[in-house]
Chains A and B, each alone.
Chain A
Amino acid sequence: MKQKTESNNLKELTIQSKTSYLNKVRAFISDEAKKFGFSDDEVSKITLAVDEACTNIIKHAYKNASNYPIHLRLKARNNTFEIMIEDQGMPFEPDAIKMPDMKEHIKSYKRGGFGMYLMKSLMDKVEYKIQPGRKNRVILTKYLQ
């Protein structure tokens, strides 16, 4: 695990694609979100969204293989808290994944699809930038009100 600070408002963390590092990711994000001025409730939301993004990368982009990098870059300036998460795993087509009607989804006892739904519900903006064969990026943004 590598962590570095490039300037006052740009911080980075690189982890291996192992679920045992999720607690480090949560600690990093919650510390920074707190410092930025978010309420405890908002800090919890941001932390969960980032956990879900990293979990999706480990499970889907890297298919649970544990020796690949996940790179997080945090930009926090003005009222914008932006976390860019990058991997080099399997590309995917975010637009092809339909957001489920959660009521119907859970009534049919489906167990997947919650992660992306949570990310979109918890953050103000979720953007994907996919470069097939090179890298995938998801950018999660929350605005400080």
Chain B
Amino acid sequence: MSDFSIKVRNENPVHVLELKGYLDAHTAPKLEETFQDLINKGHHKIVVNCNDLSYISSAGLGVFMAFVEDVREQKGDIKFSNMSQKVYNVFDLLGFPLLYEIFKQEGEAIEKFNSVQSE
């Protein structure tokens, strides 16, 4: 039984990752693979929807750190949405809100990409 899953959705030109379950040192490699795959295919605008993410440890946070510089160099970004208070608390403790944009709703995160693109 897997306690973590990722669904990738194309919301052209943005790709949404829906994370579900427990993101820890055991499951982080799966997320790393997904990011690597998106980047290999030239997709650099990524929204991580955390609506069903129950848990995150530093191993999971490390994955975002590993890729954010690459996507920003390609004029993309990693933005977050639909985060529970529990998951947000871990982001906050490490100062991640300084580095990442976190939106209440997925649509707002996608909109932010689209508005920057049309400027």
Contacts and interface: CB of A to CB of B under 8 A. Distances in A.
Contacts of B59: 55
B25 A44 contact: no
Contact of B95 (A44, A55, A58, A102): A102
Contacts of A106: 65, 94-96, 98-99
B86 interface: yes
Contacts, number: 66
Given A19-B25, A118-B90, A118-B94, A109 B68 contact: yes
B93 interface: yes
Contacts of B39: none
B61 A114 contact: yes
A121 interface: yes
**Majority secondary structure of chain A interface residues (helix, strand, loop or mixed):** helix
Interface in B34-65: 55, 57-59, 61-62, 65
Contacts of A103: 95, 98
Contacts of A112: 62
Interface string B95-118: 110110000000000000000000
A110 interface: yes
A26 B56 CA distance: 12
A55 B25 contact: yes
Interface residues of B, number: 24
Nearest to A121: B93
Contacts of B69: 109
A111 interface: yes
Contacts of A48: 55, 57, 90
Given A106-B65, A118-B58, A51 B95 contact: no
A117 interface: yes
Interface of A: 19-20, 22-23, 26, 41, 44, 48, 51-52, 55, 58-59, 102-103, 106-107, 109-112, 114-115, 117-118, 121-122
Given A114-B61, A118-B90, 20 more contacts: A19-B24, A19-B25, A23-B24, A26-B55, A44-B86, A44-B89, A48-B55, A51-B25, A55-B59, A59-B25, A103-B95, A103-B98, A106-B94, A106-B96, A109-B68, A110-B65, A112-B62, A115-B58, A117-B94, A118-B93
